[in-house]
Amino acid sequence: MSAHTSGHAPADPFAGPGARARAALVREIVADGGLSDPGWRSAFAAVPRHLFVPCYFVNRSGVYERMWREDPDPEERDRWLHGAYEDAPLATRLRDGTLLSSSSQPSLMARMLQALEAAPGDRVLEIGAGTGYNAALLAHRLGDAAVTTVDVEPEVVESARRHLDEAGYHPVVAVGDGSRGHPGRAPFDAVIATCAPASVPDPWISQCRPGARIVAPLSTGVIALRVGSDGRSAEGRFLHTSAYFVPLRGGAAPLEPGAGGLPRRAIENDLFRFLLTLTAGTLDPREALSLWEREHRPGRRRFGVTVGGGRQWAWLDDPEGPYAWPLGAAGA
């Protein structure tokens, strides 16, 4: 049963076909092994993604084509609506042809939300408001009052709030530096990020209750951490899935890995790129390749992150080594 108790949203002319397209999307995600939690399945079935992407851009042969719900051509409006319910990320903000923000792939959002292990009664902080769609899913499951979403860009916050209002959801939507969390609404039972930090910001941990979950993009994967009983440490492993998110603004920039002299087969391998990015600035690219091949090309689930004692590090198989690498300055 939904925890959402907001008032009625304005009439939506796309409500009927949107509901049918949404049901098809949910079936697709379930068939692929996602949305095993009935609470999140209900949220994805109920929250109208199309209200959060009234305009988006599709890359066609290197050129972004605008899709929008106010298009005078009814066939184009139909393409916009069905595109909103494809299991794919949607580019929502561009500047000079550069992608600034997007609505994430729904099946990836489902995996991250389930990894959060949040339930009614929990308070959640979202880093990166985006379109507001993820906050709406959280609000539907947990209730408006339980959800806080922050973004450093005022125009993003205003847009997300407008979309949420139109859909009938009213969580706290605030302007703020996501790397600093949101102390005024702490403590939280969970933190979820929709942008990638270089390392885990200390405030995310200190603003959580012991035992809380933190789920965030890192390197080209998603880390799921459990906050320790001391409220100052955290540890966890990566999910199996790949993930590519825009960097967290306000925090340290992620290091770009070098790949000079490496064979093309390695550079183009998604799992090796994950290791190369995770160890950037610590391992020489050739050392990274040697390790990856020696350890039988490990997948993301064999890797984890530990934060504590003023430092944080990534590791393969065991936090105590023998394979561990500094993940950047704690609190960066």
304-319 mean pLDDT: 95
Q: Is the pLDDT of residue 300 over 70?
A: yes
Q: Which residues pair with 93 in a beta bridge?
A: 101
Is the residue at 140 inside a domain?
no
- Residue 331: band (very low, low, confident or very high) from pLDDT cuts 50, 70, 90: very low
Instruction: Please check whether residue 134 lies inside any domain of the structure.
Output: no
Q: What is the DSSP string of 28-68?
A: HHHHTT---SHHHHHHHHHS-GGGG-SEEEEEETTEEEEEE
Specify if 293 maps to a domain. yes
- What's the total number of domains in the chain? 1
Picking from 46-60, 69-83, 274-288, which range would have the lowest pLDDT averaged per residue?
274-288
Q: What is the pLDDT of residue 332?
A: 38
Domain span including residue 293: 264-326
294-304 average pLDDT score: 97
Helix axes 285-294, 270-278, angle to 10 degrees: 130
> Is residue 321 assigned to a domain?
yes
List the one residue out of 276, 251, 151 whose CA is nearest residue 199. 251
Average pLDDT over residues 111-140: 97
The structure tokens 């899709």 sit at 67
**Residue pair 151/157 in contact by the 8 Å Cβ criterion:** yes
| pLDDT per position as a tens digit, 215-231 | 999 999 999 999 999 99
Question: Does some domain include residue 123?
Answer: no
Residue indicated by tokens 């999140």: 40
Which is catalytic among the residues 101, 103, 159, 219?
A: 101
Please report whether residue 290 resides in a domain. Answer: yes
Q: What pLDDT, in 10s, does the model give residues 11-41?
A: 788 999 999 999 999 999 999 999 999 999 9
The answer on pLDDT for 330 being more than 60 is no
Whole-model pTM?
Answer: 0.91
pLDDT tens digits along 60-115:
887 888 999 999 999 999 999 999 999 999 999 888 777 778 899 999 999 999 99
The secondary element (H helix, E strand) that includes residue 26 is helix 15-31
The answer as to whether 241 is a domain residue is no
Q: What is the DSSP letter of 168?
A: T
- Give the model confidence (pLDDT) of 175-201 as tens digits: 999 999 999 999 999 999 999 999 999
Query: Catalytic site residue 101?
Result: yes
39 is a domain residue: no
pLDDT in tens, 225-258: 999 999 999 999 999 999 988 888 765 556 566 6
> What's the pLDDT score for residue 59?
84
